[in-house]
Amino acid sequence: MSFPEKFLNRFICGDCFAEMRELPDACVDLVLTDPPYGIDYQSNRRVTRPKLPKFENDVDLSWVDGWVDEVHRVLKDDRHFYCFTRFDMYPVFYNSISRKFKVKNCLIWTKNNHGSGDLNGSYAPQYEMVIFAVKGKRHLNGPRDSDVLGCENVPSARRFHATQKPVELLRQLIEKSTEPGEVVLDPFAGVGSTGLACVDTTRRDGDRQTRHYVLFELNADFVRAGQNGGLGAQEALLDVERQTRGEPPKKRPALRTNRVRARRDQTLFLEF
């Protein structure tokens, strides 16, 4: 079955609940996403320019079961599913995902800095949780890595999205769970980080093997931010070497936990 061309390697401004219904059954090879947590989140960390936009569908989590059902439908058998979450919403996402998938791990992403929250009455939050689940059975690529992932967060002053994930972290998850030419879906794409991570698999630090992406994002402000230069500084990554024709594929690295640094310039160009 050929993948619908109107979705392949596209960043689409639209409601994922409607857009996913147009995808055929069992058509994507990985789902990697950071959904709203149902907490009506508003970042207060921005000091040099106005607060970043609030998220859609973030008032409650009544939509989660129906969304997980759609993820299960569009994901092929023997494929992986990564879903970012946080400690207080973990039970909701875990219970919903475990109805349809085998939950294998809760990965912990530790950051180089912490959030704010209750400044006097709580410990400073410095990690996020990632539910790692599988539909069927599939081995991870490369060596066995720790379930604690260390990667610097995107600097606050360079974010276009309040909970923007580092491309370095997403790329390595993609390389652990996909083969060249496979398709990665992000239903809550934000400013396109997952798509940039798919493109980055062919770049300097990736395994030099192409992955395809499908991105859905309801918030037009986030999509425009991606269209106006992606992530970070407004320059293309032109100083990277492409794999030459006939060169053997680069060996897959480990996740390099506790020493992965987020690049300041994470700009790659996506198709819209």
Among the listed residues 231, 184, 213, the one whose alpha carbon sits nearest the alpha carbon of residue 272: 213
Indicate the pLDDT class of residue 236, thresholds 50, 70 and 90.
Answer: very low
Q: Tens digit of pLDDT for each residue in 46-86?
A: 444 455 444 455 457 999 999 999 999 999 999 999 999 99
Task: Please check whether residue 251 lies inside any domain of the structure.
Answer: no
For residue 221, give its domain range.
10-227
Taking the C-alpha atoms of residue 48 and residue 113, their distance in angstroms, rounded to an integer, is 19
Q: What's the domain count of the chain? A: 1
38: left (phi over 0), alpha (psi -120 to 50) or beta: left
**Residue 201, in any domain of the structure:** yes
pLDDT surpassing 80 at residue 241: no
Residue 104 within any structural domain of the chain: yes
pLDDT digits (tens, 9 = 90+) for 157-196: 566 666 788 888 999 999 999 999 999 999 999 988 898 8
In a domain, 246, yes or no: no
pLDDT tens digit sequence for 102-161: 999 999 999 877 666 667 778 888 899 999 999 999 999 999 999 999 888 876 656 666
The count of other CB atoms within 10 Å of the CB of residue 259 is 9
Q: Is residue 213 part of a domain?
A: yes
Sheet containing strand 75-85, edge to edge, reads 10-13, 212-217, 183-186, 28-33, 75-85, 127-135, 102-110, 148-150
Answer whether residue 196 is part of any domain. yes
- The answer to whether residue 1 is domain-embedded is no
Please measure the distance between the N-terminal and C-terminal CA atoms of the chain and give it in whole angstroms: 23
Short-list 110, 152, 151, 147, CA closest to 127: 110
Whichever domain contains 188, its CATH number is: 3.40.50.150
In this predicted structure, what is the pLDDT of residue 222?
85
**Tens digits of residue pLDDT in 78-91:** 999 999 999 999 99
Question: Could you tell me the pLDDT band of residue 248, with boundaries at 50, 70 and 90?
Answer: low
Amino acid at 179: E
Whole-angstrom distance, CA of residue 15 vs CA of residue 40: 18
Does residue 68 form part of some domain?
yes
Distance, CA of 90 to CA of 96 (rounded, Å): 10
- How many residues are there in the chain? 272
